[in-house]
C-alpha cells in the first residue's frame, strides 16, 4: 500500500468467520471468473437460486449488447425470497422488522410475509393483472410496499416503483411510459409526523392525460387522509385481499422475464426506464448481499434506502430476503423525532449490518456535533459489525467519523459503487478481505471486469484518470431501456468503444500503487444531489416549462458540504432581470414550479438571473464557465467570445 495512505486492514478474527476470508480468497474468485467466466456465474447461479427448470446455457452474446443470462431456465423471484426459506426451516424467523414514523414496531415472519404476498398476488389477479402486465407502485416504506413488489414478482407482473417524493407530473410520465394496468398506492405517507397525501397525487397524475392504460388503483390505508375513490377504478387494498387465499402458486417465468422497471435520470430530458431481468438480477442481489455484507443467519440487516430507489430494490426487497435474512424497514426520516433515530434503532434492534448514504451521515454528523443526546456515543451500538455506504462518493472525513463513532473503530466500511443500471454492487470492498482506504471503493466485485479507459477505449495507466467502463456483461446488468432499445445502445454501448464496453457515465482513477478505484464523478450532465440522480436537462426543461416567466435556463452542479452536489440554475426571464427582493420572490416561484414538475428533490438551491447566458460563437452554453461561477471560482476560461461579458457579474449574484 502507498505509504501516505491510511489503511484499515480487516480484523483477523472477524475475517476468519467471513464468507470471503482474506485477499487470497478474493483473488481466487477473480481468477476463477477470468479463467471460466460462464462457469463462474453458472456455478453461483446454481448455488444461490432455486430454479424450476434448470438452465443449460449461461450467457448468450449473439445479440450483443442485448445479453441474455440463463435464458432457458425458469424461476420465480418471490418463491426464492419466501417459500424457499420456509422450506429450509426459516418459516418462523423474522423477515422484516418495520418501524413506523411514530416509532410503532411491526414484525413479520417469513410465513406471514408469504401469506400477505400471496393474498395481494391473488387480489391482483382478481383485479385482472397477469403475467407481463406492468404495475406502478407509489407507496411509502412499509411491509405492504415490500409485499406488493413480491406479489407482482409472484404473478409475473413487472413492477415499477415510483419514489413517493415525485410529483404528479413525474408520476404521470412514468405511468404513461410503462403502460401500466394498475397502480398500488396508499392514502398517504407519513414523514416527520406529517401525513402527506399519495392517492391525491395519483388522482392528479391520472387527470394529466396519457394514462389510459390504468384500469385499477389499489389503495392501502396508512393514515386517515380523506381520499376520493372513483367507482369501478379505485379499490381499497383491504377489500382486494379480503377472502383471498394465503397460497398462490408462483408463476414460473423465464430468467430474462422483466422483474422490474425503474426510472432514472440520464443526460437528456426524459428519464430512462431501466429494465431488469429476473434470474441474473436475483443472482447478483443475493450474491452481493452475501459477499459484500457478509450476511449470515443471525444478522440483523438494515439498509436505510427507500424502495423507490434501486438500493431499496436490491438490498431490501430482494437480496436479504433471498438469503433468509432478518431486516429492518423504516418509515420516515433520519431526523425525526430527532437526529438520534438511526442510532436508537440500531441499539433497540441490535442491528449488525448498517447500510446508508454519505448525505445522511454528513447531516447526522452536524446534528451530533451540536447535541450530545443525538451523538452515536449516547447509544449502545456494540451489535454493529459491518457498515456500508452508497450513492455518492464518501469523503474521507465523513468516512473516518462513521468508522470511529458509529462503528466504534472496529467495523469495516464497505463503500459500494454501483448504479440503477448495474442492479447490484460493482466496485466494493469485501469486509473480511479488502484492506480499506477512506474515500476509495477499492476493487471490483469478483467477476466484474471494471476498467478505466480513454476516449478511444484504450486502457489508461494507474494514476491517470479516465472513463469507467465494464468490459464484459454481467448477470444483473440493465437489459434495455423500456421501449427504447436504440437509446439503450447509444447510452451504454456507444460506438466510441465500438459498442463493446458498458459505459457507466462516471469518471474514475486507480491509485498508482494499490490499483484501488476512486470514483471522480459523473462525466455526463447528471448531478448527484444527496445520492439522488438528477439530469440537468430535466431540471432545465422544468424551468422553461414555466412559460409565462422563463425564456432560457441552464443548470449545473456545485459542490455542497452536506448534499454532495447542489443544483444551481441560471435563468433568463422573459421580462427584465430582477434584483433584490423581487429576484428572491421570482426564485421562489421557480423553485416551487420545479417542485411541482419533478418533485421537491429537484428544487435548485441557487437561482441566478442574467440578461443572457454565456455562449460560444456557435450558440452553445458555456457550462464550464457556469460551473466556475456556481462554485464562486475566479474565471480562468477564455471569455473573449462573449457578446456581453457584464452578464458574468450578473450571474455571480446570489439570491
- Residues that bind ligand PRX in the complex, under the rule CB under 6 A: 264, 310-311, 390-393, 415-420, 441, 504-506, 519, 522, 528, 533
Query: Whole-angstrom Cα distance, residue 383 to residue 295?
Result: 14
Ligand-binding annotation for 530, yes or no, is yes
Of 156 and 258, which has the nearer Cβ to ligand PRX? 258
Closest by Cα among 569, 563, 559, 556 to 627: 556
The CA distances from residue 576 to 156, 358, 608, 611, in Å, are: 56, 41, 13, 7
Pairing assessment for the beta strands 68-69 and 606-609 based on DSSP bridges: unpaired
Residue 200's H or E segment, with its range, is helix 199-207
What phi, psi does 643 have (nearest 5°)?
A: -65, -40
Provide, rounded to whole angstroms, the least separation between the CB of residue 428 and ligand PRX. 8
Provide, rounded to whole angstroms, the least separation between the CB of residue 418 and ligand PRX. 5
Ligand-binding annotation for 576, yes or no, is no
Provide, rounded to whole angstroms, the least separation between the CB of residue 504 and ligand PRX. 6
Ligand-binding annotation for 58, yes or no, is no
How many other β-carbons are positioned within 10 Å of the β-carbon of residue 5? 15
Of 273 and 391, which has the nearer Cβ to ligand PRX? 391
Query: Whole-angstrom Cα distance, residue 316 to residue 345?
Result: 17
Ligand-binding annotation for 550, yes or no, is yes
Query: Whole-angstrom Cα distance, residue 217 to residue 185?
Result: 7
Burial class of residue 102, CB neighbours in 10 A (0-12, 13-18, 19+): exposed
Of 293 and 418, which has the nearer Cβ to ligand PRX? 418
Of 452 and 504, which has the nearer Cβ to ligand PRX? 504
Place of cell 476509495: 440
Provide, rounded to whole angstroms, the least separation between the CB of residue 44 and ligand PRX. 21
Of 57 and 490, which has the nearer Cβ to ligand PRX? 490
Ligand-binding annotation for 191, yes or no, is yes
Ligand-binding annotation for 506, yes or no, is yes
Ligand-binding annotation for 172, yes or no, is no
Helices (H), 292-428: 310-312, 319-322, 341-349, 358-370, 396-401
Ligand-binding annotation for 417, yes or no, is yes
Provide, rounded to whole angstroms, the least separation between the CB of residue 265 and ligand PRX. 8
Burial class of residue 650, CB neighbours in 10 A (0-12, 13-18, 19+): middle
Under DSSP, the state recorded for 21 is -
Provide, rounded to whole angstroms, the least separation between the CB of residue 427 and ligand PRX. 8
Of 266 and 610, which has the nearer Cβ to ligand PRX? 266
Under DSSP, the state recorded for 67 is -
Residue 361 near residue 333, CB atoms below 8 Å? no
Provide, rounded to whole angstroms, the least separation between the CB of residue 78 and ligand PRX. 23
Of 244 and 420, which has the nearer Cβ to ligand PRX? 420
Query: Whole-angstrom Cα distance, residue 504 to residue 491?
Result: 9
Query: Quick check: helix, strand or coil at residue 370?
Result: helix
Of 54 and 521, which has the nearer Cβ to ligand PRX? 521
Ligand-binding annotation for 311, yes or no, is yes
Ligand-binding annotation for 415, yes or no, is yes
Burial class of residue 423, CB neighbours in 10 A (0-12, 13-18, 19+): buried
Ligand-binding annotation for 71, yes or no, is no
Provide, rounded to whole angstroms, the least separation between the CB of residue 392 and ligand PRX. 5
Residue 117 near residue 41, CB atoms below 8 Å? no
Ligand-binding annotation for 575, yes or no, is no
Ligand-binding annotation for 391, yes or no, is yes
Burial class of residue 620, CB neighbours in 10 A (0-12, 13-18, 19+): exposed
Closest by Cα among 482, 539, 597 to 160: 482
Provide, rounded to whole angstroms, the least separation between the CB of residue 400 and ligand PRX. 16
Q: Which residue is nearest to ligand PRX (CB)?
A: 420
Pairing assessment for the beta strands 386-390 and 353-356 based on DSSP bridges: parallel
Of 144 and 415, which has the nearer Cβ to ligand PRX? 415
Closest by Cα among 115, 91, 100, 131 to 241: 115
Closest by Cα among 378, 352, 356 to 367: 378
Provide, rounded to whole angstroms, the least separation between the CB of residue 438 and ligand PRX. 12
Ligand-binding annotation for 215, yes or no, is no
Of 123 and 388, which has the nearer Cβ to ligand PRX? 388
Provide, rounded to whole angstroms, the least separation between the CB of residue 171 and ligand PRX. 18
End-to-end CA distance of the chain: 47
Of 181 and 510, which has the nearer Cβ to ligand PRX? 510
Binding positions for CoA? 191-194, 311, 530
Binding positions for ATP? 391-393, 415-420, 506, 522, 533
Binding positions for Mg(2+)? 544, 550
Binding positions? 191-194, 311, 391-393, 415-420, 506, 522, 530, 533, 544, 550
Amino acid at each position: 500500500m502507498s505509504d501516505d495512505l491510511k489503511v484499515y486492514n480487516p480484523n483477523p478474527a472477524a475475517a476468519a468467520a467471513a464468507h470471503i476470508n482474506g485477499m487470497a480468497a478474493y483473488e481466487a474468485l477473480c481468477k476463477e471468473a477470468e479463467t471460466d467466466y460462464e462457469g463462474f456465474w453458472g456455478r453461483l447461479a446454481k448455488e444461490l437460486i432455486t430454479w424450476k427448470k434448470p438452465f443449460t446455457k449461461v450467457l448468450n452474446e449473439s445479440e450483443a449488447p442485448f445479453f441474455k443470462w440463463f435464458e432457458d431456465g425458469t424461476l420465480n423471484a418471490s418463491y426464492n425470497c419466501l417459500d424457499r426459506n420456509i422450506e429450509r426451516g426459516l418459516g418462523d424467523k423474522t423477515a422484516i422488522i418495520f418501524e413506523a414514523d411514530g416509532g410503532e414496531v411491526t414484525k413479520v415472519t417469513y410465513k406471514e410475509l408469504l401469506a400477505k404476498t400471496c393474498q395481494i398476488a391473488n387480489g391482483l389477479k382478481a383485479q385482472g393483472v397477469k403475467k407481463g402486465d406492468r404495475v406502478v407502485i407509489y407507496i411509502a416504506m412499509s411491509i405492504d410496499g415490500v409485499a406488493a413488489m413480491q406479489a407482482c414478482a409472484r404473478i409475473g407482473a413487472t413492477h415499477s416503483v415510483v419514489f413517493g417524493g415525485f410529483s404528479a407530473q413525474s408520476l404521470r410520465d412514468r405511468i404513461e411510459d410503462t403502460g401500466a394496468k394498475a397502480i398500488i398506492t396508499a392514502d398517504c405517507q407519513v414523514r416527520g409526523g406529517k401525513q402527506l397525501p399519495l392517492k391525491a397525487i395519483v388522482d392528479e397524475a391520472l387527470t394529466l392525460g396519457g394514462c389510459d392504460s390504468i384500469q385499477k388503483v389499489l389503495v392501502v390505508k396508512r393514515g386517515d387522509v380523506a381520499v376520493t375513490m372513483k367507482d369501478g377504478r379505485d379499490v381499497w387494498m383491504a377489500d382486494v385481499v379480503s377472502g383471498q387465499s394465503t397460497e398462490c402458486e408462483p408463476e414460473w417465468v423465464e430468467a430474462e422475464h422483466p422483474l422490474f422497471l425503474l426510472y432514472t435520470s440520464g443526460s437528456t430530458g426524459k428519464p430512462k426506464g431501466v429494465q431488469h431481468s429476473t434470474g441474473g438480477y436475483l443472482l447478483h442481489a443475493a450474491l452481493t448481499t452475501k459477499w459484500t455484507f457478509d450476511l449470515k443467519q443471525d444478522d440483523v440487516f438494515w439498509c436505510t434506502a427507500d424502495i423507490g430507489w434501486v438500493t431499496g430494490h436490491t438490498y431490501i426487497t430482494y437480496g436479504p430476503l433471498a438469503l433468509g435474512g432478518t431486516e429492518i424497514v423504516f418509515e420516515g426520516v433520519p431526523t425525526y423525532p430527532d437526529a438520534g433515530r438511526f442510532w436508537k434503532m440500531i441499539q433497540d434492534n441490535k442491528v449488525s449490518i448498517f447500510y446508508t448514504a454519505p448525505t445522511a451521515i454528513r447531516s447526522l454528523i452536524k446534528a451530533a456535533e451540536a447535541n450530545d443526546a443525538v451523538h452515536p456515543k449516547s447509544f449502545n451500538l456494540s451489535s454493529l459489525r459491518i457498515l456500508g455506504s452508497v450513492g455518492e462518493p464518501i469523503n474521507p472525513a465523513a468516512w473516518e467519523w462513521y468508522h470511529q463513532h458509529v462503528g466504534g473503530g472496529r467495523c469495516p466500511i464497505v463503500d459500494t459503487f454501483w448504479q440503477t443500471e448495474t442492479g447490484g454492487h460493482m466496485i466494493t470492498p469485501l469486509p473480511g478481505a479488502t484492506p480499506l482506504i477512506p474515500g476509495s471503493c477499492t476493487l471490483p466485485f469478483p467477476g466484474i471486469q471494471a476498467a478505466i479507459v480513454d476516449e478511444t477505449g484504450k486502457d489508461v495507466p494507474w494514476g491517470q484518470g479516465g472513463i469507467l467502463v465494464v468490459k464484459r456483461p454481467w448477470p444483473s446488468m440493465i437489459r434495455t431501456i423500456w421501449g427504447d432499445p436504440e437509446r439503450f445502445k447509444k447510452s451504454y454501448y456507444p460506438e466510441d468503444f465500438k459498442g463493446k464496453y458498458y459505459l457507466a457515465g462516471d469518471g474514475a482513477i486507480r491509485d498508482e500503487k494499490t490499483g484501488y478505484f476512486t470514483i471522480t464523478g459523473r462525466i455526463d450532465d447528471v448531478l448527484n444531489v444527496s445520492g439522488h440522480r438528477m439530469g440537468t436537462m430535466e431540471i432545465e426543461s422544468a424551468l422553461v416549462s414555466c412559460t409565462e416567466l422563463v425564456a432560457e435556463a441552464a443548470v449545473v452542479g456545485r459542490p455542497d458540504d452536506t448534499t454532495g452536489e447542489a443544483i444551481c440554475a441560471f435563468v433568463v426571464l422573459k421580462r427584465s432581470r430582477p434584483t433584490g427582493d423581487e429576484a428572491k420572490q421570482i426564485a421562489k416561484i421557480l423553485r416551487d414550479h420545479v417542485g411541482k414538475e419533478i418533485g421537491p428533490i429537484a428544487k435548485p438551491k441557487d437561482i441566478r438571473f442574467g440578461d443572457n447566458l454565456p455562449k460560444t460563437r456557435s450558440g452553445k452554453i458555456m457550462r464550464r464557465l457556469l460551473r466556475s461561477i456556481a462554485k464562486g471560482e475566479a474565471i480562468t476560461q477564455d471569455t473573449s467570445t462573449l457578446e456581453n461579458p457584464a452578464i458574468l457579474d450578473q450571474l455571480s449574484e446570489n439570491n
